[in-house]
Amino acid sequence: MSKISVYIAISLDGFIARENGDINWLHAPEYTIEDEDFGYKTFMDSIDALVMGRHTYEKVRSFGGDWPYGDKPVCVLSSQGVDIPGDISNTVFSISGFPEDIVHQLGERGYQHLYLDGGKTIQRFLNDGLIDELILTRLPILIGNGIPLFGSLKNDIKLEHLTTQSYPNGFVQSHYRVKS
């Protein structure tokens, strides 16, 4: 595997969702900037596959409508069964195991750049030293409590700051490389 990246939005106080998994605060009308995707399309074009936990997958499925990832392969991490409907079964699959084993399995499938999504998934891979870069978009909102992006760590993880960009809606996006 050559690269594993995180691209995620967080509240200013470090949460990716409310305690019940709600992320409606991410989509407030005042955050919309016409024709601005905050680098998401460019990022998505750079990856080979997404890796997300079961809870994140179920949250995305709950939105209804078209599958937002199109034909991009999506790997759902779960030790339990995952319901994958027929209309996305050609691109969505489930595996389980330790992060290093998962990375090895996906590398054998030819994936070179993975996008990790979901709090627990990001925390596990970060703790195992498998993440190469973090692209964090902080929104100008405090939600007080919820699901944190970061949890306890085995060791300090040093980051190299690459860029920061601010947007007129108050978003601040920072790009970091994880130092070896």
Instruction: Give the pLDDT band of residue 80 (cuts 50, 70, 90).
Output: confident
Reported as a single tens digit per residue, the pLDDT across 9-24 is 999 999 999 999 999 9
Helix, strand, coil content of the chain in percent (nearest 5): 25, 30, 45
Q: What is the DSSP string of 120-170?
A: HHHHHHHHTT---EEEEEEES---SSSEES----SS---EEEEEEEE-TTS
With contact defined as beta carbons under 8 Å apart, do 147 and 11 qualify?
no
Mean pLDDT across the chain: 94
pLDDT of 127 > 70? The answer is yes
Residue 137's identity, in one-letter code, is: T
42, containing H or E segment? helix 40-46
What are the C-alpha distances in Å from 163 to residues 34, 46, 133? 23, 18, 12
Q: What is the rounded CA–CA span in Å between residue 19 and residue 17?
A: 6
Q: Name the amino acid, one letter, at 28.
A: A
Question: What confidence tens digit (pLDDT) does each residue in 13-65 have?
Answer: 999 999 999 999 998 999 999 999 999 999 999 999 999 999 999 999 998 88
Asked whether the beta carbons of 93 and 73 are under 8 A apart, the reply is yes
pTM: 0.94
Provide the CATH number for the domain formed by 3-178 in this structure. 3.40.430.10
Please check whether residue 112 is in contact with residue 47, taking contact to mean a CB–CB distance below 8 angstroms: no
The ranges assigned to domains in the chain are: 3-178
Strand spans (E) along 2-117: 3-11, 15-17, 49-53, 74-77, 92-95, 113-117
Q: What CA–CA distance (Å, rounded) separates 4 from 65? A: 28
